[in-house]
Amino acid sequence: MDAWLLSEGTHLRPYETLGAHADTMDGVTGTRFSVWAPNARRVSVVGQFNYWDGRRHPMRLRKESGIWELFILGRITVSSINTR
């Protein structure tokens, strides 16, 4: 439902879904990244933690919503990241 509302532009709190968030998946602690970029050909998470190398953490596109996602193990300092 969140993905549909985001793609329609009617989500009331997109900041809860998009961006960088501490999360646990299958008992593993990490950081979940998501960005809405339906026309992008590729999106990567880059920062000091991966030497600003966009090849290290490419995001995966959910075509039905235009949202790119990635889960990275461990806690990532948000002030040191960017998307490309």
- The amino acid sitting at 71 is F
Residue with tokens 């990275």: 72
Identify the CATH number of the domain in which residue 27 sits: 2.60.40.10
Residue with tokens 């933690």: 49
Q: What is the pTM of this model?
A: 0.80
pLDDT in tens, the chain (84 residues): 576 666 667 667 777 788 899 999 999 999 999 999 999 999 999 988 899 999 999 999 998 889 999 999 988 776 655 655
User: Which residues span the domain enclosing 38?
Assistant: 2-83
- The amino acid sitting at 40 is A
Number of domains comprising the chain: 1
Residue with tokens 């998307």: 83
